[in-house]
Structure 1
Amino acid sequence: MKKHGFQNEEKREESYKALIREFYEEVYDWSVSETEELGKIWTSQMEEMKMPQSVIVWCKKLIEAVCDIKREKMLEGVIYE
């Protein structure tokens, strides 16, 4: 994960998109528990890098949403833990 500075709204949006893309590529075929573990690692790294709290909260919500979707897919029988 790279440290991003947010000088303006455009850079912030680019950074968010990059984080989403990186996270998606990492966890595409992972289980819920593996995804949650990566989320913990990411959160720790962001805190160490002194990322803005709003970014950390946003990433936590992203991780929760991805895990919720994976759980729904498991219930539908589309993916397995």
Structure 2
Amino acid sequence: MRVNPGTKRESPGSQLKNMQLRSRMKLQQGQVWKQGERYIRIVHLERLSVEYKDMTDLEAKTGKHLQATKKEFCRLIKGAELLPS
């Protein structure tokens, strides 16, 4: 394997981490995301917009319906954990 002078070599562990960060997450209707103490559920998904429900209690299913562009929604859930369905 040739390495050009001045190029930075990554360890196998950091290469794997970078690949995981670059993998794309597909948004789907019904997904539930946990961010801190709040839960965010995708109610309706369109090409450029997302309608979602912001809840504090997942089992009570009460919360506020909100709408955002996909870009805004992705920024909103950045760092959130996708819960298994």
TM-score (normalizing by structure 1): 0.28
Instruction: Answer 1 or 2: higher relative contact order, Cα 8 Å, separation at least 6.
Output: 1
Q: Which has the larger radius of gyration?
A: 2
- Counting strand residues as a fraction of each chain, which structure ranks higher? 2
- Counting helix residues as a fraction of each chain, which structure ranks higher? 1
TM-score (normalizing by structure 2): 0.27
